[in-house]
Amino acid sequence: MTETAPLNKQAFNEQFARVAKALAHPKRVEILDLLSQSERPVDALAAATGLPVTTASSQLHVLRAAHIVDTRREGNRVYYRLAGDDVAQLIAAIHAVARNHIPEVARAGREHFEPDGDEPEPMSRGELLERARRGDVVVLDVRPAVEYEAGHIEGAVSIPLDQLA
């Protein structure tokens, strides 16, 4: 083993840490969650996260430097998107690890998604689609309109959460 091997390993691990550092901020995690639904320009991301445009732009710069997000230009607008399906899988894995190993995540999820104490009926995606096809259930999409327009379950009804009575 050469004397430079530990340095090479350290440099290698620093690149992995670069990705982890980019994920180590709640607003960047929120931005990635939004981008996992659809690509968006910085002003739309700023509005969705409640950040000033300059702050959202700074957060996107960190994510782009870590090669987690990519961009495309359309006229004078720059649209951000996840750099690949592997990034979406990484986000899903982080969510799963947090849900499975941090008790506060389950409590926060219940408070956010079940504020009235009603527990949703769990079902698989296939079962949901089949029940919707038969007309046994109505799929209500409460995401913001821009997310619904980017993609939704066929037949889903869009009523953004802030408009839901």
The whole-angstrom separation of Cα 57 and Cα 124 is: 37
Residues 164 and 112 grouped into a single domain = no
Amino acid code (one letter) for 37 = Q
Is the pTM for the entire model greater than 0.85? Answer: no
Claim to verify: residue 5 and residue 31 sit in the same structural domain: yes
Whether residue 148 sits in one domain with residue 114: no
Give me the pLDDT at residue 37, please: 83
- How large is the average pLDDT for residues 36-51? 92
- Given strand 69-74, what is the order of strands in its sheet? 40-41, 77-82, 69-74
Residue 44, both tokens? 């739309």
Structure confidence by residue, pLDDT tens digits, 49-89: 999 999 999 999 999 999 999 999 999 999 999 999 999 99
CATH code of the domain containing 71: 1.10.10.10
Alpha carbons 2 and 136: distance in angstroms, whole number: 67
Q: Give the model's confidence band at 116: pLDDT under 50 very low, under 70 low, under 90 confident, else very high.
A: low
Where in the sequence is the domain holding 163, given as residue range(s)?
121-165
**Whether residue 97 sits in one domain with residue 16:** yes
115 and 129 inside one domain: no
- Whether 81 and 127 share a structural domain: no
Torsion on CA atoms 161, 62, 24, 27, rounded to nearest 10:
-20
